[in-house]
Structure 1
């Protein structure tokens, strides 16, 4: 099984969160403050994996007192690094068949940029972005302005000036969202990723919303919905203790749409492998990190992606880390 081969390659499973925390935070970590790319600019011009992107963000929302949090209103430093790595077809997820042109991926806490989805969607079948409803207007605008084929910056600006931002969408039940969902196609650049490249956003609040098969964007009786997700992705979503339990519970519920171990065999006649959960984050606070990991290893078996399998900018000495989780078998 390709998943087994991947887990063997990742090395020793994490068994003691305090040891993992010590190993990571005992390094000399660079000072990156909170880790914003630029918290004051409303527009960022980024080049990621050879693609020129114009990303709109909201410093105003970031500095507001909005209930429910504002951290998704701007782009964080780890996001372009993680987006470039996970969308590279030579990474360990693609080389071991976890990701492929047929994959369905769910992102939790995508923020306003949609950057990971914009890079990964062309290489897979469908990418579902989720976050609180307030990011909808920005993320729809960013998808609309960046789903074209890569081009030089001057050409991009000329075309972007002719576009108008899309309006936001009101929060509704996931079933209603799925019923009238329209996906935005994302085209692969030269070299062809082979995926269908569909990308869309659906609101999902970890504290108040239920994780259902409607998140797949397919009808509930469709085979795609029944199969759940191949991977659940989260990039820099862990900032405070209060959201750790809701976040981990949402990760687990999303993975259970397919199941893990024995649950997968019971749910899927086509014997789909368990959903893989990939969590990337900046190393900020050892207390918050250890609390997250202690919570995460309860429903998940967990591994750290070794630095040797990551680009230099995403390695632990740079202040970032990527973990992989697979649901524990249910008795």
Structure 2
């Protein structure tokens, strides 16, 4: 298992971003607002993958004229959906062992909620949340409250007007993931896509919001992590100005794994299976978005495809108004593997 098997599952690589853009926006997309769950509520009661969460947000900050943006002050609709999908034990990132209990993950533009981190951290070693400094106070409050109270979440009152209920299938998925706080570390650090440099210090110098329990085996790695196994972003691109710095940051973060893998190959011993696997699997970049503004999305996808081999995640509901793409940095996958995958998808399509 590994990157080869994952890419086989994903099927054909996106070769023409303009065609992908057309196919997505040719769907009958649901109408709605910009994508907030409830921008006026100070507190949301959500159920995500069977786990009850209390999320505090800031309508006042959202409505302010703060320089640098305010959209991270409230929860967006795609976030719970993305969190449930990526933390599921049936997610191909886990079944193909791209992500494991030893993985280090970074999220760009996490906002005040930290929902993806709360759901995914129990399944990995380290989860680093990043955003601008204004989200830090509420983010820490939300992480602390939802890691401390997860074991007693069944006693929370259910408000039908605010709680976003999921199906019994989601509850089953949550029980398989280990649901509550008790896996890897959850960390936070500020990261400005335009001015900050992507270095291993994003791991080592970040603030620990949730330390793992002493019995957790998820943090027992043979060597300290110097790179990320996955870069995640959820609905971060909503105007043209963000496209270039966002893609550049994704590239720089993924290149850390390239450098780390080269160093590992030089020093690993023949029986060091974990080091061998880390060298084989490049850092992946997973971007979830609401299909909102066609021209902004097209500009992003073209810029992203210049730097990454890109696949659309095929197992998400069509016509939902949301889409997830997976990118693998160009130069981090053997050319012969890409040719093999191209031939395989061509034979599937009768080419």
* TM-score under structure 2 length normalisation: 0.77
Change (3 A) 1:66 1:218: closer
The 5 A counterparts of 1:4-83 are 4-83=4-83
CA contact (8 A) 1:304 1:324 kept: yes
Q: What is the alpha-carbon distance in structure 2 between the residues aligned to residue 191 and residue 90 of structure 1? A: 10
| 2:168 matches 1:138 | no
Q: CA offset at residue 156 of structure 1?
A: 7.8
Kept in 2: contact 1:24–1:316 (CA 8 A): no
Equivalent of 2:321, from 305, 319, 322? Answer: 319
**Aligned residue for 1:268?**
264
Cα offset, 1:153, TM superposition = 5.4
Paired positions, count: 288
| 1:292 aligned onto 2:300 | yes
- Deviation, 1:83, is 0.5
Deviation (angstroms), 1:33: 1.6
Cα distance in 2 for partners of 1:37, 1:265 equals 40
Q: Is 1:238 matched up with 2:232? A: no
Q: Distance in 2 between matches of 1:238 and 1:131?
A: 13
1:62-211 equivalence runs, <5 A: 62-148=62-148, 149-152=150-153, 154-155=155-156, 191=176, 193=178, 196-211=183-198
Which runs of no fewer than 5 residues in structure 1 stay unpaired?
A: 158-188
Look up the SS of the partner of 2:24 in the other structure: helix
- Higher Rg: 2
Map of 1:305 onto structure 2: 313
Name which of 285, 290, 293 aligns with 1:282: 290
> Matches of 2:295 and 2:93 in 1, distance apart?
29
CA RMSD of aligned residues (A): 2.2
TM-score by length of 1: 0.82
Structure 2, gaps ≥5 residues long: 159-173, 207-221, 266-274, 336-351
How far, CA to CA, are the matches of 2:178 and 2:153 in structure 1?
Answer: 20
CA contact (8 A) 1:218 1:224 kept: no
